[in-house]
Structure 1
Amino acid sequence: MTQRQWFKIHGWCSLPIWIVFCFVCITGTIAVFSHELTWLFNENARALNPNDLAPIAMSERVEAVKAMYPSAHITTVMTFESYLTNAVMFSADNIPAGIAYVNQYTGQVQEVNQGITFINFMRSLHGWLLFPWQSSYSVGYYLVSAMSFVMMGALVSGLVIYKRFWRAYTQPKIRVTQGKKSILSDLHKHAGAWSIWFIMIMSVTGLWYFTQQVLWHADIDIEPHAPTVDINDVPRGEVPAEPTVSFDQAMQIAQTQFSDLQPSYVMMPEHNRDMYKIMGGGDFVFYDQYAYRLAINPWTGEVAQADSPDNMTALQTVMHVVDPLHYGTIGGIWTKAIWFIFGLILSAMSITGFMIWSSKIVQAARAKKAAKREQKLSEQGA
């Protein structure tokens, strides 16, 4: 292929879906710091701990919500960074779906949110553009994850066009005195050269999200569902209102199963044959906060399911390492800051790329128009 053909491919990898691609880049960049932005703008979400107290038991956090709302039916408990409150999801009289922000050090309920949180909003906006889900798939999820093909195409064609790209590392040069076109071109090329590693990560992880959506759409489970309680384990006659194994006991059993478990998402039994479902992270650096998955029988205390990185399949391993790579949570705030900066650079590249391409389109249209005018004048002169 000629250089001109590669340039056309590079342009068409950006121009037709420029607005969507730019929007996905910007929302993803914001989503990286969604937890920090929540802490910054919502003081009720801050888990202040001036007396340096140890976190209270998760069961005590649940009891704090029940003390405020005696009719509360607790469904889920979520934990985040140490500086953010826990989220206890529940329903109660006049509150069909509430999220209580509970300080894990003091046990105080600092806010009850009955809408969508900023964290969920940004992740949903970035992940599937708030398109509705049709059972097991969302058109928006397909659209966003398909951007991985665009990024991969732009990367490959860009490397072919920008020969000896490594000069951007050894001999960086921005021609600031040669007009707007030169400045945009140099900024675009240098940003692309320095972002190769980041674009590759975004492309590969995005390709996985696309594959994952195809599997979901085909009803292919990557991870097994938690088993249900055997009917023989459920007490005969009148079933007690509460399971015989308390929430606190279930958490202790989970901690015994995995000593390094850091619970991040805990679901209560929804019916008498449902289990405590506990997910969390551990000492595995490259895995997400759901790498450990347990299902505990609420009537017998038996561990019915115990999944960890040690017994994952290849697809499950990929599934649990992609999110930390995509959002830069591997090394905490420092890697998130790096991902945020390069997210801004990628967003800017999409804008400068559009500006460069559109200027060439305008120039080509003007040249074509001028050629037609000259041809018309020559015909009239003849």
Structure 2
Amino acid sequence: MAKVSKRFWFQLHGWFSLPVWVLFCFICITGTLSVVSHELTWLTNPAARASNPNNLPAKPIDELIAAVEQQHPTADITSVLVYEPYLVNAIIFTDHNKPQAIAYVNQYTGQIQAVNQGITFIGFMRALHGWLLFPWQSGYSVGYYLVSAMAIVMFGALVTGLIIYKNFWRAFTQPKLRFNQGKKTLLKDLHSLAGVWSMWFLLIMSLTGFWYLTQAIMWHNEIDIEEHPPLVSIADLPTSKTVPAISLSQALQLTKQQFTDFEPHYIMFPEHSRGMYSISGSNNTIFYDDYAFSTTINPWTGELAQTKSPGSMNALQTISHIADPLHYGTIGGIWTKLVWFIFGVILSGMSITGFMMWRSKLAKTTKAQLLTTDYIQEAQ
């Protein structure tokens, strides 16, 4: 069996990393910012801060909704998003002069601090990183495919990089940075050292990226990962009542009875007379996202039509609910987010230093070829 040369692995590593370096670097940078998008929102947007100087307990969600309905009497509340305790609750509604609006309601004071009719910074960064703002059509987005396909590039660069870097484990105990041997040597040391220390991060990003690519293919082919919420039976529809028999607070109470220590994070109201309450949240389980526990509740009868928790998930559903916390570093709150942010910066820097090394090598090769051509021409 022929032995593969180191030069081959080096060239393969370059092809995995360099032809798409601009796109790859952009995705790394936007992903790094997405990790701390909630914290950046808190820093830059005072209206999004849930100030609580008097240490008040959070008000029930139905009281926050009532505050929005009082200010916008004709509003149709569609959903509620609950973020970290230091960010306001987002109550999404439509009105006759607002096709879609988000009320920023302080959950401690009940005050509406702003009404946003555009895309939020959090939503913008996730969309920019997730699918490059490419439109969705027929269940797929070209941008989503492009971003998730970077998992192949990243995994290939990781494997070939480790093959090239002999005895890479020494970088943990004997890190080497040579500042006095020129720019080329320093770039190489920085790139190699960052790559070795980021192996675990590269592997996580690759594996979650592979899942997102698989998920995109499934969506495109109309293969469902989650079950669709059932519809209210026609027999359950009231003949005269126009107000649901079960209020939101009662639906939340039913959900909390179903799951201990349940914390709601997303609530969707019935979209029509046969629609149901959809309530999703968490209960302090590590690795699962904020939507791993959910109930679907019949608004007319109070029946628990559907429930979901990690214990009842199949393999694909489990992967779906642990991919985001691993990809965005939310598994341990702000501290793991900071770790993911730091390594996101390192990964972005690696793509830049890799390109600088490639450009330097290309310039050197081109110069040597030009000198050789000139020598041959003079000899003739």
Residue 328 of structure 1 corresponds to which residue in structure 2? 329
- Give distance in 2, aligned partners of 1:287 and 1:325: 9
Residue 251 of structure 2 corresponds to which residue in structure 1? 250
- Give distance in 1, aligned partners of 2:191 and 2:260: 49
Residue 234 (structure 1) aligned with residue 218 (structure 2): no
- Give distance in 2, aligned partners of 1:149 and 1:190: 22
54, 65, 87: which is aligned to 1:51? Answer: 54
Residue 76 (structure 1) aligned with residue 79 (structure 2): yes
Paired residue secondary structure (1:133)? coil
How far off its partner does 1:36 sit? Answer: 0.3
| One-letter amino acid of the counterpart of residue 348, structure 2 | S
Paired residue secondary structure (2:358)? helix
Runs of 4+ in 1 over 3 A off after TM superposition: none
Residue 111 (structure 1) aligned with residue 114 (structure 2): yes
Residue 290 of structure 2 corresponds to which residue in structure 1? 289
Paired residue secondary structure (1:53)? coil
Residue 204 of structure 1 corresponds to which residue in structure 2? 207
- Give distance in 1, aligned partners of 2:56 and 2:356: 54
How far off its partner does 1:259 sit? Answer: 2.1
State the Cα deviation string for residues 228-251 of structure 1 (Å, max 9, x = none): 000000012x4x332111111111
**Residues 155-304 of structure 1 aligned to structure 2 (within 5 Å):** 155-236=158-239, 238=240, 240-304=241-305
Paired residue secondary structure (1:137)? coil
- Give distance in 1, aligned partners of 2:80 and 2:130: 23
- Give distance in 2, aligned partners of 1:227 and 1:260: 26
Residue 370 of structure 1 corresponds to which residue in structure 2? 371
Give the TM-score normalised by the residue count of structure 1. 0.97
How far off its partner does 1:149 sit? Answer: 0.3
Residue 314 (structure 1) aligned with residue 315 (structure 2): yes
| One-letter amino acid of the counterpart of residue 370, structure 2 | K
| One-letter amino acid of the counterpart of residue 282, structure 1 | N
Residue 344 (structure 1) aligned with residue 372 (structure 2): no
Residue 147 (structure 1) aligned with residue 162 (structure 2): no
Q: Which moved more, 1:248-257 or 1:78-87?
A: 248-257
- Give distance in 1, aligned partners of 2:198 and 2:65: 45
- Give distance in 2, aligned partners of 1:168 and 1:306: 48
Give the TM-score normalised by the residue count of structure 2. 0.98
Q: Which moved more, 1:365-374 or 1:108-117?
A: 365-374
- Give distance in 1, aligned partners of 2:361 and 2:243: 70
How far off its partner does 1:367 sit? Answer: 1.1
- Give distance in 2, aligned partners of 1:55 and 1:208: 36
State the Cα deviation string for residues 28-66 of structure 1 (Å, max 9, x = none): 000000000000011110011111111111111111100
Residue 85 (structure 1) aligned with residue 88 (structure 2): yes
- Give distance in 1, aligned partners of 2:169 and 2:258: 50
> Quick one: percent identity of the two aligned structures?
59
| One-letter amino acid of the counterpart of residue 356, structure 1 | M
| One-letter amino acid of the counterpart of residue 70, structure 2 | A
Residue 28 (structure 1) aligned with residue 31 (structure 2): yes
- Give distance in 1, aligned partners of 2:302 and 2:176: 66
Paired residue secondary structure (2:104)? strand
- The alignment's C-alpha RMSD in Å is 0.8
How far off its partner does 1:283 sit? Answer: 2.5
- Give distance in 1, aligned partners of 2:24 and 2:230: 40
- Give distance in 2, aligned partners of 1:263 and 1:136: 28
- Give distance in 2, aligned partners of 1:245 and 1:339: 42
96, 100, 106: which is aligned to 1:97? Answer: 100
State the Cα deviation string for residues 302-346 of structure 1 (Å, max 9, x = none): 000001001000110011011000000011010000000000000
Q: Which moved more, 1:92-101 or 1:66-75?
A: 92-101
- Give distance in 2, aligned partners of 1:67 and 1:118: 27
- Give distance in 2, aligned partners of 1:71 and 1:256: 33
Residue 10 of structure 1 corresponds to which residue in structure 2? 13
- Give distance in 1, aligned partners of 2:204 and 2:99: 40
| One-letter amino acid of the counterpart of residue 265, structure 2 | S
- Give distance in 2, aligned partners of 1:95 and 1:121: 20
- Give distance in 2, aligned partners of 1:283 and 1:347: 31
- Give distance in 2, aligned partners of 1:157 and 1:247: 54
- Give distance in 2, aligned partners of 1:242 and 1:43: 36
- Give distance in 2, aligned partners of 1:272 and 1:93: 20
State the Cα deviation string for residues 268-302 of structure 1 (Å, max 9, x = none): 00110000011111131110001012100000000
Residue 121 (structure 1) aligned with residue 124 (structure 2): yes
Query: What is the total number of aligned residue pairs between the two structures?
Result: 377
How far off its partner does 1:373 sit? Answer: 1.2
Paired residue secondary structure (2:275)? coil
Residue 67 of structure 1 corresponds to which residue in structure 2? 70
Q: Which moved more, 1:289-298 or 1:363-372?
A: 363-372
Paired residue secondary structure (2:177)? coil
